[in-house]
Chain A
Amino acid sequence: MKIKGIRTVKGRQTLRAYLFMAPALILVFLFVILPIIGSLPLMFFDYSVIGKTSFIGLENFKNAFADKEFRVAMFNSILFVVVVPIIQILSIILALLVNRKMYGMTLFRTLFYIPVVTSMVAVSIIWGFLFDPSGWINTICIKLGIIQKPLGFLNDAKTAMLCIMFITIWQGIGYYMMLYLAGLQSVPKELEEASYVDGATGLQSLIKIKLPMLKPYIWFCSLNSIISALGVFDVVYVLTQGGPNDATNVINYYSYVKAFKDFQFGYAAAISGVQAAMTLVLSILVFVYGRKGGGMTYND
């Protein structure tokens, strides 16, 4: 009797626990777990809104690699990863600058962070007008004599990708700066002061003390930055739609076009699968490199 009683009490508690969790768990299952489970099989089907659904094995992947547009998009996405080290270096420099005890630093941090919280649509529209042939950047460049006649930065295959990269860097720096700032503030003050007492210069203390302490942050930020670089979408969608002439067509945008313009869900899923695989490979590389450099010693 006694054992059974305990059982029911425990059973009742379990029931209560699941009642509490049910609403969230149902939504998480439908919209988070199901997409994770469903993504992989979808890549091996010919699945579109119209027509029959059939298992086609690796056909989607074969088609993708035979598809010139896909290869261009993949190449562009790999090229786009160049923004990762640029963002990281600039945000570390910025974090070092705002980590001083000087008047007005909070204001600067806030200003640098505003692009991060603003919608990518608004940001893209603003920069789209600034880059316009009759926009501000052209006007200034002409007045300064840098260029003779207005350039359509976004309409030129040579410069469009650079603009997309610039906007991405511009919007991303504030976010990573804030993370690095948190890292710098976790450097024990005594350590830094001791190095100065020992006669270290600012640069020495940066290389020998601050950067090693920042390592776990650099590792985390680079990883995040790679994932978002390979997933770049919003700016392309708003400003260039992959053009001109596929110059800004990136893998995530191409997969969107295949899914929601052409409604080839299976094919689009396969393209996303390639993107996920690329992300995984680059993440592993960064992880292994970070490990070798001793970046994983941080246990918090």
Chain B
Amino acid sequence: MISPAKKRKIKKTRKEITVYIVLILVAILCAGPFLWMLATSFKSGQNIYDIHIFTKHPTLSNYIGVTEFLNIPRYFGNTVIVTFFSILLDVVFSSMCAYPLASMEFKGKKVILGILLATMIIPAAAGMIINYLVITQMHLLNTYAGVVLPGAVKVFSIILLRQAYLAIPKELIEAARIDGSSELRIWRSIMVPGIMPTISTVVIFDFISKWNEFLWPVIVLQDPSKYPLATALQYLNGSFNYKFGYIAAGTIISIVPVILVFVLFQKNYIEAVSGAVKG
């Protein structure tokens, strides 16, 4: 005789096993394509479409080949430049802009906040065209500045950082003002250190979106040697379709940094993503 309690336990275990099976299947579907690409990047030319995932003779020839063929270090460098300056501008300018919006009284504060919030709701239907025209007018076509500037400061970052500043006690700021500290000093030595977790969130968000950006660079840059990795990869895919192993290696090189950053900072990142719904 099986007791009801034991029966329930068996039922629970059975249910848990079913859940695991489903989750493992979904995990294979999600991660499988990446693992297949990774495995393929270590295969030599002939057995690329081989159905077996693992090869008996792993080789780095695709990595060496694509690096010689495409000047990967250069594209990697381009991506680092674009990503770094985008993040720098966003973090410095947004955190400066958010400070008075959170902790200073001045004329037009409500209007500016209102306009900023409105830009998050109203879409710019032909945004990319106007950006292109502005960049052309500024004579920034075919420059890194032209790639970086339009997306550099995000209203979302300003709002996020302002929210973080609001949590810093007012008394602390007032005390510093009475002590005669300049606003710049207060910002640098009280405000910014007080919102480091939020700044790191902005950095991760920007890193992932900038590292992956590929369309805007194609539009602004005429010289392919200035392309970032994602754009170069698309270019490689279009022009050298037969060198499949090269493309596999190039793809892996381009996605490893993003996956690393995500896995390292996922807790922070996911909290911010989920928090955005409530905000």
Contacts and interface: CB of A to CB of B under 8 A. Distances in A.
A-B interaction: yes
Interface string A165-199: 00000100011001101110000000000000000
A43 B150 CA distance: 21
Nearest to A185: B274
Interface in A235-282: 237-238, 255-256, 259-260, 265, 268-269, 272-273, 275-276, 279
Contacts of A132: 49
Chain B interface size band reads 35 or more
A234 B215 contact: yes
B233 A125 contact: yes
B155 A28 contact: yes
B115 A118 contact: no
A234 B127 CA distance: 16
B244 interface: yes
Given A33-B115, A114-B31, A174-B30, A20 B99 contact: yes
A126 B230 contact: no
B114 interface: no
Chain A interface size band reads 35 or more
A214 B152 CA distance: 34
B277 A179 contact: yes
A204 interface: no
Interface in B240-271: 244, 247-248, 251, 254-255, 258-259, 262-263, 266, 270
Interface of A: 10, 13-14, 16-18, 20-21, 23-25, 27-28, 30-36, 38-40, 42-43, 94, 97-98, 100, 102, 108-115, 117-123, 125-130, 132, 134-136, 139-140, 143, 170, 174-175, 178-179, 181-183, 216-217, 220, 227, 233-234, 237-238, 255-256, 259-260, 265, 268-269, 272-273, 275-276, 279, 300
Interface of B: 16, 19-20, 22-23, 26-27, 29-31, 33-34, 36-37, 49, 51, 89, 92-94, 96-97, 99-101, 104-109, 112, 115-116, 119, 122-134, 149-153, 155, 158, 183, 187, 208, 211-212, 214-215, 219, 230-231, 233-234, 237, 244, 247-248, 251, 254-255, 258-259, 262-263, 266, 270, 273-275, 277-278
